[in-house]
Structure 1
Amino acid sequence: MGYRAKLGIWQSEMDDRLLVKAWRMIGLNRQKLIAWPRKYLWNAPRGLFYKLTRDSDAMMRAFIDGKSVALVGNAQSLLGAGLGTRIDQHDVVIRMNKGFVTDPASQGTRTDIVTLTPELTEEDVVEKFKPKLFLFLIHRLRHFNIKTPENLKRTAFYAHRYWFADRTKIGRRPSSGYMMISYLLRLNCAKDITLYGFDFGKTPTFYNPVGYQTPHDFHAEGRIIREYVKSGKINLSSPFIGQHG
């Protein structure tokens, strides 16, 4: 990538005021910063550097352009649904967070892109998913824990301005599923996008403990996503198609 292209990406992220926010945090919350675990003090600047100097949108477009995409959510209702073969027939299969394949007949077997969660180490992600591309959706860069050079080359980032727009639209912190849908629509280059394992909170995330309280507003997200389905922007494969509330 040329100098001007990198400068353009840097400026784009500067518009998000990421650097201003970082310096303000250092100046106003010095004690909090010092109290961070040592790994955070290493992860945050590394993550910021890669995010600012990488054309993540171009990486993603090159990967999904003209292809059919399966975005596999983690709703409990997907398990036992028997959609695995349909999922694997897509050109690109995207999985998220701790959505390990526990029921291949329902979840499929392939993973081409995986979104990262701070709850998993780089080794966990590689072992469980064996992805071709890593996607860092989280806006808190202190959680960036990819270190292997080969995996770093295959890591893309979700721009902070996208995250902020999502949060503004929903009125609450967006879920990984919502951000991934938003990103695919922003890139606007996939042949088609089909959602699996999305039921907008009607069943819990299959790997969360009983009684888990989600920080997300699945009702608001579902309302927006259903409008995308109605307009033909995405397809929804779900046992709850057509249900509202």
Structure 2
Amino acid sequence: MPQPFDQMAEFLANKNIALVGNSRKVLGQSFPVDDHDVVIRMNFAWQLPQAMQEAVGTRTDLLCVSGAKKEINDMVATLPRVMYMSPKSRDLLTDATRQKLYFYPTEWWQSLYETLGARPSTGCMAVDMVRRVIGEGHLTLYGFDFFQSDSWHKRYSLLERLRLWLGLQKPHPHDGDQEAAFIKAALPREQLTIVPTRQSEAS
């Protein structure tokens, strides 16, 4: 049996939470991520390079992961909490790994997919999860620019760059505008802060 979701809901309830996106725009800056009660990161952020650590800290209280990651066993062995977000590939997980994971409910994924009209990103799913359990807490988003820039870990091959330039390939399957609208309305204004990825954007 996987980890009971009620435990996660209790852990996040009424907390001051930082959810850290993976935009490369945060590089060269410093944000007070580790000062929050709970720090949530996503996907490849479980092993941040030094430059990203200097920008968005090092603490990880929860890692949200989408898709089959070959490092999943190392993740659950290294981190205190890991939540598997996407509905696909869950059947590929071993029983031993499943027992250490929390799971984002598939019915929440389906509802979010229908709302967005596109496949939700890990970040959007994480916001949806937090908004349902945060109670009187506060959520601060760092490194979210709704796909205006690439993730710090994204690398394109020459073929991918050519296909992007020709318009034959999209950089991602998500709808940044729809996700931005959903996230900005996910919580009351006094419970949600979206920190600009560049200080010049704050004005």
Partner in structure 2 of residue 164 of structure 1: 110
Quick one: structure 1 residues 98 and 220, their matched pair in 2 at CA, closer, same or farther if it must change by over 3 Å? same
Tell me, yes or no, if structure 1 residue 91 matches structure 2 residue 59.
no
Partner in structure 2 of residue 80 of structure 1: 28
1:236 aligned to which of 174, 177, 194: 194
- 1:122-153 deviation per Cα after TM superposition (whole angstroms, max 9, x unaligned): 344257xx3211101110144653554xx654
Letter of the aligned partner of 1:222 in structure 2? A
Matches for 1:139-158 after TM superposition, within 5 Å? 139-142=87-90, 144-145=92-93, 147-148=95-96, 152-158=98-104
The answer to whether the Cα contact below 8 Å between 2:21 and 2:142 also exists between their aligned partners in 1 is: yes
Partner in structure 2 of residue 106 of structure 1: 55
Query: What displacement does 1:219 show?
Result: 1.8
Deviates more, 1:63-72 or 1:220-229: 220-229
Matches for 1:38-57 after TM superposition, within 5 Å? 50=1, 55-56=4-5
Indicate the structure whose relative CO is greater, using CA pairs within 8 Å and at least 6 residues apart: 2
- 1:170-215 deviation per Cα after TM superposition (whole angstroms, max 9, x unaligned): 0000000000001100113362111111001111111112347201
TM-score (norm. length: structure 1): 0.67
Higher normalized helix content (fraction of residues): 1
Matches for 1:1-245 after TM superposition, within 5 Å? 50=1, 55-56=4-5, 58-83=6-31, 86-99=32-45, 100-102=47-49, 103-117=52-66, 118-126=68-76, 130-142=78-90, 144-145=92-93, 147-148=95-96, 152-189=98-135, 191-210=137-156, 211=161, 213-228=171-186, 231-239=189-197
Letter of the aligned partner of 2:34 in structure 1? D
RMSD (Å), alpha carbons: 2.6
Take 1:241 and 1:104, find their aligned partners in 2: how far apart are those partners?
18
Take 2:79 and 2:141, find their aligned partners in 1: how far apart are those partners?
19
Letter of the aligned partner of 2:184 in structure 1? R
Take 1:142 and 1:228, find their aligned partners in 2: how far apart are those partners?
27
Take 1:109 and 1:181, find their aligned partners in 2: how far apart are those partners?
20
Take 1:114 and 1:194, find their aligned partners in 2: how far apart are those partners?
16
Take 1:71 and 1:98, find their aligned partners in 2: how far apart are those partners?
14
Take 1:143 and 1:91, find their aligned partners in 2: how far apart are those partners?
33
Take 1:112 and 1:82, find their aligned partners in 2: how far apart are those partners?
19
Quick one: structure 1 residues 229 and 75, their matched pair in 2 at CA, closer, same or farther if it must change by over 3 Å? farther
Gaps of 5+ in 2: 162-169
Structure having the higher Rg: 1
The answer to whether the Cα contact below 8 Å between 1:229 and 1:235 also exists between their aligned partners in 2 is: no
